[in-house]
């Protein structure tokens, strides 16, 4: 089954975005994941001055498919699957990363790093764990400077 969804904050833009019911994952706010993938795709293509709605939708669908591939790892760690929504929102906030020729590859790599930080899949050495301290410090700094 396919039905249209609307973003509470972006009604006009989201009229044509669809969700397939057979892909539902328990606990995952699938509609919201699609919305944030769409917004990220729109922002990335807008930066390259490519605003064709069909291209935005195709890129958003690619982002969504890439994102849900992380559900197995997230589930194996008993983590909230909606961390995918939060990770994509986080990527949308990063203005410093310019658009690339291969946006899907950029998204795959960027999201994989964020998911690895949130749901570690490997045991770290003392040396690699040093960076986790840096991430913790950066996270504390970012949280202390939240926008109102």
Residue 137 domain boundaries: 2-144
pLDDT in tens, 5-16: 333 344 443 333
pLDDT of the residue at 95: 62
Long-range contacts of range 20-27, CB-CB < 8 Å, 24 or more positions apart?
23/68, 25/68, 25/71, 25/81, 26/81, 27/80, 27/81, 27/82
Residue 93 binned pLDDT confidence (cut-offs 50, 70, 90): confident
The total number of structural domains that make up the chain:
1
23-32, 48-57, 117-126, 138-147: which range is least confident on average? Answer: 23-32
Mean pLDDT, rounded, of the chain: 81
């Amino acid at each position: 089954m396919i039905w249209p969804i609307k973003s509470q904050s972006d009604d006009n833009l989201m009229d044509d975005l669809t969700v397939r019911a057979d892909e539902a994952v328990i606990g995952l706010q699938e509609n919201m994941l699609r919305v944030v993938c769409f917004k990220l795709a729109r922002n990335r293509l807008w930066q390259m001055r490519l605003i064709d709605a069909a291209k935005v939708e195709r890129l958003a669908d690619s982002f969504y498919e890439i994102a849900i591939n992380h559900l197995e790892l997230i589930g194996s760690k008993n983590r909230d699957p909606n961390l995918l929504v939060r990770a994509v929102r986080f990527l949308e906030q990063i203005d410093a990363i310019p658009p690339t020729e291969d946006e899907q590859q950029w998204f795959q790599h960027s999201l994989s790093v964020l998911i690895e930080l949130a749901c570690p899949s490997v045991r770290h050495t003392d040396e690699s764990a040093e960076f986790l301290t840096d991430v913790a410090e950066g996270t504390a700094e970012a949280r202390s400077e939240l926008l109102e």
